[in-house]
Each structure stands twice: as structure tokens, then as C-alpha cells.
């Protein structure tokens, strides 16, 4: 594929946050030679490079009661060399949706002879392993893994580590276009190939997010991400003294990271996960608050934001869902030690203006799962490995 070369990089301590890079063309051919890219501002990522990273990557698909057809489409869009890991929190009573997902996955994998893992978020074996490894953050009062997409991401990360993968990408199960899924993963690979550090992250920005209201309208921005981006950029500006618009992917559900980075990141519960990743990187490695992790400081962290060619169309889950998402997203900024009083007031005004909070209320702090490194990760991974057959679709 052809992609814009990273044109400008904001540096915050050891975090290198690259401005958005657009995909120029989805394919770059086998023979096509490119003029020196410094001249054109375009990088060619050849097919071999993309395959190199896909082979080292697991794609985690969190799913909760999505339409089966959508789920199947998503799986069919994941490149063959990636390991598919499905983490489901779908219902099991009456209609066993988890079973249906497993059957669909099994069938697709048989046709294409591919490997895949599927696990239910409430599988007691996972909860027991977490407890044994002192990683209780993940658990609810009833002793099972908590609800939430972030919690599913953590299970996915652990399974990817157990399978020996070096990179993990996330793709939502409610995507309508399998072709878009294919592009997300190729973009992940492209981003990783540009990274200098072993700690790297790729976040997807959509060229268009269509809205159907009588006619098909190709909207440029999601409502939530627009607002979250604004305040995350303000957070950076208040620290550097320079206004910036660098952050464009604060709520990117579609994103990927190297295993090394994943292990040191905290994951906020529910829908606050994606913005919290950025806030945490600024806090821990942004050079403002003290850091303990010298290795990371030395290597730095590379973050890429890649704008897709495909539009993004997923299930619309209603206004209440969006409000909840905005509240928890802004809460990650509001409760950060980096957030000064002025920015806090601006966030409160925004939430009150949107009718999400009342005067005098504060956004409730989000629940944060400690980084995996804090628990006995290896023990957890070993426990999962010992049960590995159970999770494989093809025995």
C-alpha cells in the first residue's frame, strides 16, 4: 500500500505522537518502484512487509450480542495470517449466542484452514487464573470477570501472549464492511513497520463515518470523538504552551499495539479504555510527572494515527450509549493529575451544556485495571496455555 509519510511528530517527553497519515492507495503492486519518498512524502509499504507483521499479530474481536452476520463478516475480513481471538460476553441462556458465534467461527476456520481462539468473558477458568495471579482488578463481586469491552481486551491480550504473538490489534464485531476490516489490519501492519521503538501503537481514523437518514450522508466526524479530541488536545496544550490539534483518534476502537506496550498500559473500564490509553501515556512518559520505567523512556513510544480509505459503518447504539461514552471519555481527562483547574471547569461546562451532568455534579472517576505487568502475568498466561485446547476452534 501507499501511505503518507509521517509529516509532523509532536514530542511529549518520550511519547512521539504522529499527526494523521492518510492511506494513498490500498495496494502498491509487486513491481512498482517508488521515487525516493523524501521527495513525494509518500511511503510504499510492500506486501512482504505487511505479511511479516500480520504473521506476528493477533486480532482480538470483542463481541456482545451482535448480529451474527456482522460478526461473520468481520472474521472474514481479517487477513489469513493473523490469529483471530474472539472474546465474547454474549448471552448464553435461552438462545445461546456464544454457541452460535463459536459455530460460525468454527465453520469459517474449517473452510479456510485457519487458527482461531474463542473464549467467553465469564468463563470461570479465566477468573480463577486472574485470582491466582493476584490480578483481582479484572473481577466483579461475583468472582467473575467484569463486564466491559476493556476487560475483553485484556483477556484478548493475555490469550495473544499465550499464543506467542508480538502485536495485538482490536476490531469491533459490529463493522458492516469486511473490506474495511481488511484495511484496518493492513494499516496496523503499516504503522508497526514505521515504528522505531518496540513500544508502538496504531490508531485508526475514518475518512468518513456514514449516517443514513433518508439519504446516505458521509459524515467526517463522530460526535463523541470530536469532543474528546478537543479536550485531549487542550490537555497537551496546557502542558506545552502551544495549541495543537494532533490528537484525532481519542476514541478509536480500532487500534493496535505492540505486546510490550500493551503490558505496561492501564486499561480503563467500559468505553473509557481508548482515551485513557493516551492519557496514561502522557502521564507516565510525557516527561511532566516522574516515571519509573527507564527502559521505556529510553526507547520512547511511537503512536501513529492512520486515516483509512474505507468509510466506517457500524451499529448505531443510541443516544444514551453516546452520552455514557462521552462522560467516561472526558472523565479520564478530568481526573488526570495532568488536568489543571481551568481545563476541569471547561470539561464541566461541556458536560453540563450537553445535558449529561447537572450543575454541581462531577464526572465519576472511571475504574482502571492495573497494567498487566503489575499482576503475575506469566502465571496468568501459563494458566491459559494449560487450557489452550479448550479455546481452539479446530482441535
The answer to whether the CB of 306 falls within 8 A of the CB of 189 is: no
Among candidates 353, 363, 373, 384, which has minimal Cα distance to 158?
384
Q: Give residues 135-154 in contact with ligand GDP (rule: CB under 6 A).
A: 147-149, 152
- How is residue 251 written as a grid cell? 476514541
Shortest Å, Cβ 248 to ligand GDP: 16
How many CA atoms does the CB half-sphere of 131 hold within 13 Å?
14
Among ligand GDP, Co ion, none, the one that 149 touches (CB under a kind-dependent 5 to 8 A) is ligand GDP
List contacts with Co ion (CB under 5 A): 172, 174, 314
C-alpha cell at 108: 469459517
**Window contacting ligand GDP (CB under 6 A); options: 8-16, 60-68, 261-269, 346-354:** 60-68
CB of 114 to ligand GDP, least distance (A): 20
Which one of Co ion, ligand GDP, none is in contact with 260 (Cβ closer than 5 to 8 A by kind)? none
Q: 332 and 279 in contact (C-beta within 8 Å)?
A: yes
Question: Would you state the cell numbers that stand for residue 71, as one nine-digit string?
Answer: 460478526
- 89 is an interface residue for ligand GDP by CB under 6 A: yes
Q: Could you say whether residue 172 binds ligand GDP (CB under 6 A)? A: yes
Nearer to Co ion, 61 or 236 (CB): 61
The mark string for 7-46 relative to ligand GDP (x by CB under 6 A, - otherwise) is ----------------------------------------
CB 354, min distance to Co ion, A: 20
C-alpha cell at 370: 492495573
Among 124, 37, 115, smallest CA distance to 79 is for: 115
List binders of ligand GDP among 321-380 (CB under 6 A). none
Beta-sheet pairing, 167-170 with 255-258: antiparallel
d(CA 110, CA 94): 27
B/e letters for 184-216, b = 16+ CB within 10 Å, e = fewer, are bbbbbbbbbbbbebbbbbbbbbbebbeeeeeee
The residue (of 60 and 264) whose beta carbon lies closer to Co ion is 60
Task: Return the residue matching grid coordinates 470523538.
Answer: 225
156 binds ligand GDP (CB under 6 A): no
Within residues 230-289, the interface with ligand GDP by CB under 6 A covers 253, 271
The two beta strands, 301-307 and 21-25, are parallel
- Cα separation values, 306 from 187, 228, 243, 255, Å: 7, 18, 21, 10
Among 174, 183, 254, 283, binds ligand GDP (CB under 6 A): 174
Q: Which of 28, 121, 249, 276 binds ligand GDP (CB under 6 A)?
A: 121
The minimum distance between CB 155 and ligand GDP, in angstroms, equals: 8
Q: Which of 87, 117, 279, 366 binds ligand GDP (CB under 6 A)?
A: 87
Helix, strand, coil content of the chain in percent (nearest 5): 45, 20, 35
**Binding footprint of ligand GDP, residue count (CB under 6 A):** 20
Residues that bind ligand GDP in the complex, under the rule CB under 6 A? 62-64, 66, 87-89, 121, 147-149, 152, 172-174, 253, 271, 314-315, 317
Amino acid at each position: 500500500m501507499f501511505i503518507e509519510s509521517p509529516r509532523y511528530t509532536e514530542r511529549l517527553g518520550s511519547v512521539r505522537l504522529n499527526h494523521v497519515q492518510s492511506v494513498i492507495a490500498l495496494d502498491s503492486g509487486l513491481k512498482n518502484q517508488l521515487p525516493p519518498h523524501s521527495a513525494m512524502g509518500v511511503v510504499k509499504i510492500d506486501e512482504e512487509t505487511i505479511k511479516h507483521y500480520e504473521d506476528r499479530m493477533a486480532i482480538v474481536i470483542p463481541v456482545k450480542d451482535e448480529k451474527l452476520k456482522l460478526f461473520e463478516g468481520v472474521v472474514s475480513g481479517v487477513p489469513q495470517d493473523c490469529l483471530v481471538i474472539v472474546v465474547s460476553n454474549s448471552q448464553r441462556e435461552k438462545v445461546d449466542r456464544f454457541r452460535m458465534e463459536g459455530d460460525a467461527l468454527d465453520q469459517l476456520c474449517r473452510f479456510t484452514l485457519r487458527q482461531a481462539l474463542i473464549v467467553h468473558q465469564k468463563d470461570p477458568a479465566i477468573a480463577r487464573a486472574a485470582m491466582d495471579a493476584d490480578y483481582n482488578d479484572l473481577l466483579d463481586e461475583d468472582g467473575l470477570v467484569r463486564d466491559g469491552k476493556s476487560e475483553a481486551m485484556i483477556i484478548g491480550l493475555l490469550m495473544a501472549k499465550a499464543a506467542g504473538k508480538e502485536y495485538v490489534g482490536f476490531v469491533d464485531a459490529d463493522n458492516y464492511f469486511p473490506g474495511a476490516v481488511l484495511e484496518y489490519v493492513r494499516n496496523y501492519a503499516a504503522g508497526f513497520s514505521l515504528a522505531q521503538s518496540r513500544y508502538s501503537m496504531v490508531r485508526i481514523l475514518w475518512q468518513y463515518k456514514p449516517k443514513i437518514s433518508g439519504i446516505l450522508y458521509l459524515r467526517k466526524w463522530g460526535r463523541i470523538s470530536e469532543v474528546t479530541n478537543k479536550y485531549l488536545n487542550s490537555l497537551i496544550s496546557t502542558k506545552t504552551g502551544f495549541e495543537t490539534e494532533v490528537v484525532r483518534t481519542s476514541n478509536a476502537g480500532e487500534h493496535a499495539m505492540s505486546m510490550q506496550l500493551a503490558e505496561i498500559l492501564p486499561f480503563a473500564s467500559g468505553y473509557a479504555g481508548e482515551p485513557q490509553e493516551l492519557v496514561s501515556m502522557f502521564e507516565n512518559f510525557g516527561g511532566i510527572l516522574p516515571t519509573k520505567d527507564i527502559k521505556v523512556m529510553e526507547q520512547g513510544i511511537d503512536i501513529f494515527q492512520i486515516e483509512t480509505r474505507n468509510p466506517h459503518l457500524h451499529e448505531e447504539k443510541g443516544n444514551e450509549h453516546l452520552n455514557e461514552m462521552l462522560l467516561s471519555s472526558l472523565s479520564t481527562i478530568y481526573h488526570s493529575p495532568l488536568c489543571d483547574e481551568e481545563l476541569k471547569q471547561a470539561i464541566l461546562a461541556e458536560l453540563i451544556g450537553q445535558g449529561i451532568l447537572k450543575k454541581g455534579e462531577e464526572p465519576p472517576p472511571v475504574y482502571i485495571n492495573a497494567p498487566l505487568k503489575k499482576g503475575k502475568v506469566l502465571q496468568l498466561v501459563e494458566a491459559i496455555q494449560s487450557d489452550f485446547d479448550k479455546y481452539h476452534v479446530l482441535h
